[in-house]
Amino acid sequence: MCGFAGLYKKIELTQADKTAVMNMSQSIRHRGPDDCKTYFQKNYAFAFRRLSIIDLEAGAQPFSAFDGKYVGIFNGEIYNYLELREELSKKGYTFSTRSEIETILTLYHDEGPEFIKKLRGMFAIVICDNEKNSMFFGRDPFGIKPFYYRIGKEGISFSSEFKAFMFDPEMKEYAIDESALQSFFTFQYVTEPDTVSPDIKILPAGHYAVIDENLSLSPVEYYEARFTPQKGISFDEKEKKLRDAVMKSVEYHMLSDVPLGSFLSSGIDSAVITAVAAKLCPGIKAFTVAFGVKEYSEIENASGISSHLDIEHIKLVAGLEDFLENYEKVIYHLDSPMADPSTVAIYLICKEAARHVKVVLSGEGSDELFGGYKMYKDSVPTSYLCSLPGFLKSAVSGIGKILPKGTPGKNTLMRDVNPIEGRFVGNAFVFTEEQKKAFYKKFDPNVHFTDRTKPIYDRVQDMDVLTKMQYCDLNTWLKSDILVKGDRLSMGNSLEVRVPYLDKEVFEAAKVLTSSDKLSHGTTKYILRHAFRDLLNEETVMRPKLGYPVPVRLWLKNELYDWARNIITSPYADEFIDKKVVLQMLEDHRAGVRDNYKPLWNIMTFITWYKLYVGEIDNTRARVLAGEL
């Protein structure tokens, strides 16, 4: 796991350009504390930060191959690189290292840009083709590894992290994309390929691009994770294929020359990964985090799993002080605003794990692939409501409206008469457009959160409701929230997180599953639970997910009330946020009038982000260069 930054220009690099690239490298030093290299040529520069995992001595980057014809940098892991290298060796190619980057450059030489289709892993790749005077950018199929870029007047800058652009030679400050920000207040993140800044874009997952000296960049899709449910395959056959794929993927993901561990919550996703890993490596360590509030803790159940698997279990019980001490660091490391309360817990467990290992396995992706979210389970049985004749839909919705608040099924009747495309935008939903009018000063009535999901739903119009929801989550929630926080918060602690479920072969097994394969026997992810029931006890197999719970809802009423009020009343983002409205949200939450913890966290996250990346950007730059951030 590593990080990179660079610059590719139409004209010759200046000394200011070189200094800028070195400063960009400094901003991502946490991604690679083991080695730092810069590489300057006439019109381009690479900076690379290395966290040594494989070929500790000879895998340095940037890497030059074929007598300088190609120079490459790469962040991530290619799990099938040994097989690919063997194929290339049979063609007569020789290798001087065991590193993945040498295999990547040789494969590029042999096949051109389409070589990327052969890679199995998580990656962001840059290759300078000195013969063609062009650059190749590539990103893994699921978007596990980040890739940001900015096209300027004289060149294109790129990096593993958004924060590096605060040193971009053409950029004085981060502009705010007001429509992207408006959507952030619904999603709790900005959906790729956009960022909160209109100048900076994300290379989409499953895409590559070739950039010529005119700086034209048109991403090419080489992989799409598309669900195609198949009823003609037996459950037993699907189950076997799934189990084999997951077990093989975990084995691949354990390839490492350094110590390795596994995150362990109380749910099935991490339990399966940890159980398979424990069979392959009995000495593996498992890591669990919780805050000191019992109903928000997964430690007791996770301890039961670790005892069953007979593995070492490292437990971190964090408190309010840990939360406050690390909150601003978390917002900084997340790059773009992301209002996911679990982020502080994830940062803390990554920090603890990094004291013991360099690599951890994690269960991200399982919910999206196998139908794990409660929303899926709730929506599928009533999906027929939206196909009722108009007069019946009005009647059903009317019944929902007159039912007393808190009546079971009230919200379902009101919600599910509407098409899924207009109400489901991914697993997180904070503010409606109507609610944003009250506090967002830049509100644009011509912008709607469904603008971002319509192109996604257009691709799966003929699919069932569950498949549509999974596909939406795969392309919003997973790529722009789950994987972003996993990468930034682990790398913020110089820790590599690997996600075995997000593997091409695992997806091949998952994409053919029907709704009944996933939602059955009163539970979610049924086929995954059934496939690995022999490795875990029944209680673990059937336990619902929690997902790094943090007691922010409780704390905002008492312990965090003054802290929250100080953030809201700080002199930042006043041109965007009506602070009086937000303060009333806080008072209503404290008084128990309504549960506003997610809306408050959403707005407070943006205000804190604005402070770090806009309001006090000069101070942030100074802290980065001083090694304080």
* Both structure tokens of 8: 């590719």
- Tell me the catalytic residues: 2
Burial tier of 228 (Cβ tally within 10 Å: 0-12, 13-18, 19+): exposed
Least confident of 238-252, 420-434, 479-493: 420-434
412: pLDDT confidence band, cut at 50, 70 and 90? low
Q: Is the pLDDT of residue 58 over 60?
A: no
Q: pLDDT per residue over 127-154, tens digit each?
A: 999 999 999 999 999 999 999 999 999 9
Model confidence, pTM: 0.95
pLDDT of residue 545: 74
Residue labelled with tokens 């935008």: 425
Which helix (H) or strand (E) segment is 135 a member of?
Answer: strand 134-139
Instruction: Give start and end residues of each alpha helix (H) in 312-449.
Output: 320-333, 343-353, 366-370, 374-379, 390-402, 410-415, 433-436
Q: How many CA atoms lie within 13 A of 294 on its CB side?
A: 0
Mean pLDDT of the chain: 93
39: pLDDT confidence band, cut at 50, 70 and 90? very high
381: pLDDT confidence band, cut at 50, 70 and 90? low
pLDDT of residue 248: 98
pLDDT of residue 443: 99
Q: pLDDT per residue over 479-535, tens digit each?
A: 999 999 999 999 999 999 999 999 999 999 999 999 999 999 999 999 999 999 999
pLDDT of residue 344: 96
pLDDT of residue 419: 80
Report the distance separating Cα 166 and Cα 169, nearest Å. 9
CATH number of 235-369+485-542: 3.40.50.620
Least confident of 113-117, 190-194, 406-410: 406-410
Extract long-range pairs of 13-18: CB within 8 Å, 24+ residues apart.
13/40, 13/41, 13/42, 13/43, 13/44, 13/45, 14/169, 16/169, 17/45, 17/155, 17/169, 18/45
401: pLDDT confidence band, cut at 50, 70 and 90? low
52: pLDDT confidence band, cut at 50, 70 and 90? confident
Task: State the maximum Cα–Cα separation within the chain, in Å, rounded to a whole number.
Answer: 76
* Both structure tokens of 572: 């930042």
> What kind of fold does domain 2-221 have according to CATH?
Glutamine Phosphoribosylpyrophosphate, subunit 1, domain 1 (3.60.20)
Q: pLDDT per residue over 265-322, tens digit each?
A: 999 999 999 999 999 999 899 999 999 888 889 999 999 999 999 999 999 999 999 9
pLDDT of residue 408: 65
pLDDT of residue 60: 82
Domain ranges of the chain: 2-221, 235-369+485-542, 374-432+443-474, 552-625
Q: How wide is the angle at C-alpha 524 spanned by C-alphas 534 and 407, nearest 5°? A: 140
Q: Is the pLDDT of residue 54 over 70?
A: no
